[in-house]
Structure 1
Amino acid sequence: MDVPELLEAASLLVPEEIATENDLTVGDVWEYLTEDAWEVAFGLLEDLGGARHLPLGFWERMADAAEQLRMKRSAAWCHWRCHETRYGVIRADLTLRPASETRRRTPLPGAGTLRPMWDIGHRTPAGEPDLAIAALWVEVTPFLEPGGRATARLAPFTPARWQHLRPGRAITLHEGRPPAGTAVVLEVRGPAGPGALHAPVPPRHADGRG
């Protein structure tokens, strides 16, 4: 499909009653499509996708359209949402330790390319932390400075190991010793469709939605 066909197909998966904060609906998307304002229509569809949990097909078509439009940030975000639709959502309030207290001296990339280790409560037979891997997406900002705080989304490499998490649970981010930060779980939501207990981490993308 070309871009207009992909956006039209995505728009058909958006219920007409959904509206953005500015009261724009899928009807407005169709108007932009008739005017060949594809990037504007894409942005509005992206906003509508944040207002309601939409099916996997919506995000797949959006990802394809973003790639054809060479919108790397949005393509990365849509692929991330595809992964969350398949395997569930984990959001947490993340606080990084200051640069003086950890090995990290540079901002942490927030667009899903980093795959750090996490202490989520599992222990080895010897009683040591049995760390788990999860890709990291920082909401709102593309980077998080040492000592910074932001809401983050996690994509576990092995989702079954994370099923015990509940809102309020504290977990620890590791990039070596000492730990790089701490997080408090805000939201845990299961997959919207048929999931998989051993899901791959989302593919690496050049950039992401900030």
Structure 2
Amino acid sequence: MDVPALLEAASLLVPEDIATENDLTVNDVWDLLTGDEWEVALGLLEELGGFRPLPIGFWESLATAAEHLRLDRSAAWCHWRCYETRNGIIRAVLTLRPATEARRQTPFSGAGVLRPMWNIGNRAPTGEPAVDIARLWVEFAPSLAPGGRASVRLAPLDPTQWQHVRPGRSITMHEDRTVAGTAVVLEVRRPTTTSTA
């Protein structure tokens, strides 16, 4: 087990002497680890990132711990959060076309494996629409089936191509020349830090 990685991540938590009743502290994580509650400690630390921006080092430490614990989805999520810390966050609500209207006939993994193309309004030098690739993470679900709808996070292959994308914009997802789904952008957050500490 990788106690050092979890404790390194936990060291970025609120110090015990200034913690409020609801704050998670290093001592709380240590108590879970000494009680062999590895997955619980990792889960609590992962949830922290939803409340405030945390440095890349935090997510790298959690990814290492998750890999040692063989928690593949947790490790993938922590690596995803490293990417978002470096490049920013894009969240959207994606609605896939039903299987009767699209190429996709089966659900896909929601853990950032799918790398579809997106029409986000960019143009090729010839003036035709250009597509940009972004990995896709489905929030709160292990997969997404044809006809399904979910909150998603996008990790562009080239974030500079996505600088003009703003909340409220409608973008289309493609797995081939046809439209596989439509997403409405909910949130765009630029990177807050490039620190590795």
* Cα distance between partner residues in 2 of 1:106 and 1:115: 16
Asked whether the 8 Å contact 2:56–2:194 carries over to 1, the reply is no
1:77 matched residue in structure 2: 77
Report the 3-state secondary structure (helix = DSSP H, G, I; strand = E; otherwise coil) of the residue aligned with 1:152. strand
* Cα distance between partner residues in 1 of 2:159 and 2:115: 14
Q: Tell me: CA distance 1:111–1:102, structure 2 relative to 1, closer, same or farther (3 Å).
A: same
1:129 matched residue in structure 2: 129
* Cα distance between partner residues in 1 of 2:29 and 2:108: 35
Aligned residues: percent identity?
A: 61
Q: Where in structure 2 are the equivalents of 1:49-128 lying within 5 Å?
A: 49-128=49-128
2:185 matched residue in structure 1: 185
Asked whether the 8 Å contact 1:3–1:38 carries over to 2, the reply is no
Give the TM-score, by structure 2 length. Answer: 0.90
1:25 matched residue in structure 2: 24
* Cα distance between partner residues in 2 of 1:157 and 1:178: 21
1:24 Cα deviation (Å)?
A: 5.9
Q: String of CA shifts for 1:128-156, please: whole Å, max 9, x gaps.
A: 21100101111011111111100010000
1:51 Cα deviation (Å)?
A: 2.2
RMSD: 2.0
Report the 3-state secondary structure (helix = DSSP H, G, I; strand = E; otherwise coil) of the residue aligned with 1:70. coil
Q: Tell me: CA distance 1:5–1:125, structure 2 relative to 1, closer, same or farther (3 Å).
A: closer
1:187 Cα deviation (Å)?
A: 0.6
Q: String of CA shifts for 1:7-28, please: whole Å, max 9, x gaps.
A: 1111011235788xx9461242
Moved over 6 A (4+): none
Report the 3-state secondary structure (helix = DSSP H, G, I; strand = E; otherwise coil) of the residue aligned with 1:50. coil
| 1:10 equivalenced with 2:22 (yes/no) | no
* Cα distance between partner residues in 1 of 2:92 and 2:193: 22
* Cα distance between partner residues in 2 of 1:191 and 1:18: 27
Asked whether the 8 Å contact 2:85–2:194 carries over to 1, the reply is no
Count how many residue pairs are aligned between Structure 1 and Structure 2.
Answer: 192
- The one-letter code sitting in structure 2 at the alignment partner of 1:7 is L
Q: String of CA shifts for 1:62-109, please: whole Å, max 9, x gaps.
A: 000000111111001000001111111100110001111111111122
1:56 Cα deviation (Å)?
A: 0.7
Report the 3-state secondary structure (helix = DSSP H, G, I; strand = E; otherwise coil) of the residue aligned with 1:44. helix
- The one-letter code sitting in structure 2 at the alignment partner of 1:180 is A
